[in-house]
């Protein structure tokens, strides 16, 4: 007859109870709202970190097979949950395949994946009935171009400044509604909504953000990581500080061999003379006899929207530093 060791059973039960109730054993998790996305789609990432540690931030990365396409940092809610939205657009969203979402918190990580296609995303096949008739294509109206007035809004005036004037000055309100008929004050002078709750700050001017971007390397790196593929001029809708479209056309033609090097150089000199390219920080590093082939690649990529305006400008600075373009 087998004897039952009640002492061993009791000890095992206490051990299991200890493991199940141990306060620091918890699992971080995250998931996306869909399994596949296409260009421009909104990606919602949500999850829970379990136990919240005071002062600890959640770190989040979205990676393609060979590049970091999105990085973010934020606090979880009081119950440990989180939900963030991102958009699959910009120069880094150029590679189809499996993308990874990596969420890290207090020494733990969780990874999930989704598929990204360069074709517009369709509903999952299992959600569609095989007898469902094809949808008729709809004609989308052409996007409406906002009216512009040179110098308005001013670079050194915050959106809040104009919100207050619109609210408190009847004469300004009357002028605005005539000049921008059919548009709200928010649409004309405000900042667009982003995935960052407190950025941009409507109490700060466009000039404030431009100064920080151009003078603080760490701030520039942070901005570029949060908004890949979009220059700070595009982000803040500063039309008169963007490189003119005719320059982009000239660059595109030059990259295809349809115009001469001198036409390309004349266009670059226009940008320098009109302060689109800042030359005060350019150093003389030597000289070369001709424009390198990789510059044509950069020109072609910028003209087709594959790299940002800032990345193209950096390649032009190389030409100046090496005296391929000689400034008068």
Strands 108-116 and 36-37, bridge-based pairing: parallel
268 pLDDT exceeds 60? yes
CATH number of 29-116: 2.60.40.1930
Identify the band that residue 240 occupies on the pLDDT scale cut at 50, 70 and 90: very low
% the chain with pLDDT above 70 = 75
d(CA 83, CA 35): 16
pLDDT at 292: 75
d(CA 37, CA 41): 6
Identify the band that residue 233 occupies on the pLDDT scale cut at 50, 70 and 90: confident
Q: Which residue has the higher pLDDT, 16 or 321?
A: 321
User: What does pTM read for this prediction?
Assistant: 0.36
Q: CATH 2.60.40.1930: which residues of the chain?
A: 29-116
* Residue that the structure tokens 């007035």 belong to: 149
Q: What is the mean pLDDT of residues 295-311?
A: 79
pLDDT at 274: 66
Q: What is the mean pLDDT of residues 66-73?
A: 82
Identify the band that residue 283 occupies on the pLDDT scale cut at 50, 70 and 90: low
pLDDT at 53: 81
Structure tokens, 326: 């000689």
Other beta carbons within 10 angstroms of residue 99's beta carbon come to 24
d(CA 166, CA 153): 13
d(CA 6, CA 231): 72
d(CA 104, CA 58): 6
26 pLDDT exceeds 80? no
Structure tokens, 61: 């990365």
Q: Which residue has the higher pLDDT, 41 or 289?
A: 41
Identify the band that residue 17 occupies on the pLDDT scale cut at 50, 70 and 90: very low
258 pLDDT exceeds 50? yes
Can you point out the beta strands (E) in 33-180? 36-37, 42-48, 58-63, 68-74, 81-87, 97-105, 108-116
Among residues 301, 135, 307, 116, the alpha carbon closest in space to that of 229 is found at: 307
CA 66 from centre of chain: 18
SS3 label, residue 168:
helix
SS3 label, residue 62:
strand
Q: What is the mean pLDDT of residues 225-235?
A: 82
Q: Name which of 121-125, 168-172, 210-214, 267-271 the model is least confident about.
A: 121-125
The CA-CA-CA angle for residues 24, 30, 35, to 5°, reads: 160
pLDDT at 98: 93
pLDDT at 207: 86
The pLDDT tens digits of the residues spanning 34-65 come to 999 998 899 999 999 888 887 788 888 898 88
Residues recorded for the chain: 328
Q: If you write DSSP's letter for every residue of 172-239 in order, what string do you get?
A: HHHHHHHHTTT--HHHHHSPPP-SSTT-S-TTS-HHHHHHHHHH-HHHHHHHHHHSTT--HHHHTT-G
d(CA 39, CA 41): 6
On the question of a cis peptide bond just before residue 153, with omega within 30 degrees of 0, the verdict is yes
Structure tokens, 116: 């990204």
Farthest-apart Cα atoms in the chain, separation = 106
Q: What is the mean pLDDT of residues 256-270?
A: 83
pLDDT at 122: 55
pLDDT at 44: 93
Structure tokens, 80: 């440990």
For residue 317, give every residue at least 6 positions away whose Cβ sits within 8 Å of its Cβ, in sequence order, or none.
277, 279, 282
Identify the band that residue 125 occupies on the pLDDT scale cut at 50, 70 and 90: very low
- The helix-helix angle for 309-321 and 293-303 (nearest 10°) equals 160
Identify the band that residue 142 occupies on the pLDDT scale cut at 50, 70 and 90: very low
């Amino acid at each position: 007859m087998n004897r039952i060791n009640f002492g061993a059973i009791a000890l095992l039960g206490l051990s299991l109870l200890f493991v199940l109730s141990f306060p620091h054993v918890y699992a971080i998790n995250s998931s996306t709202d869909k399994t596949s996305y296409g260009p421009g789609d909104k990606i919602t990432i949500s999850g829970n970190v379990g136990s919240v540690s005071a002062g600890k931030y959640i770190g989040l990365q979205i990676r393609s097979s060979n590049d970091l396409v999105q990085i973010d940092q934020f606090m979880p809610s009081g119950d440990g949950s989180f939900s963030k939205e991102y958009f699959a657009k910009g120069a880094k969203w150029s590679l189809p395949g499996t993308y990874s979402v990596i969420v890290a918190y207090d020494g733990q990580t969780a990874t999930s994946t989704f598929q990204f296609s360069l074709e517009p995303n369709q509903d999952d096949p299992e959600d569609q009935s095989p007898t469902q008739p094809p949808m008729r294509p709809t004609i989308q109206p052409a996007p409406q171009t906002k009216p512009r007035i040179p110098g308005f809004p001013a670079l050194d005036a915050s959106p809040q400044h104009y919100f207050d004037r619109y609210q408190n000055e009847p004469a300004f309100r009357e002028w605005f509604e005539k000049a921008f008929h059919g548009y709200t004050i928010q649409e004309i002078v405000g900042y667009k909504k982003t995935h960052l709750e407190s950025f941009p700050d409507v109490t700060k001017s466009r000039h404030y953000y431009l100064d920080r971007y151009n003078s603080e390397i760490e701030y520039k790196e942070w901005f570029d990581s949060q908004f890949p593929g979009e220059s700070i001029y595009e982000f803040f809708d500063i039309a008169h500080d963007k490189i003119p479209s005719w320059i982009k056309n000239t660059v595109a033609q030059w990259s295809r061999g349809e115009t001469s090097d001198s036409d390309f150089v004349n266009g670059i000199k226009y940008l320098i003379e009109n302060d689109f390219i800042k030359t005060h920080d350019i150093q003389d590093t030597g000289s070369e006899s001709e424009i390198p082939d990789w510059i044509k690649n950069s020109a072609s990529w910028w003209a087709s929207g594959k790299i940002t305006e800032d990345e193209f400008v950096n390649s032009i600075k190389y030409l100046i530093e090496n005296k391929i373009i000689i400034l008068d």
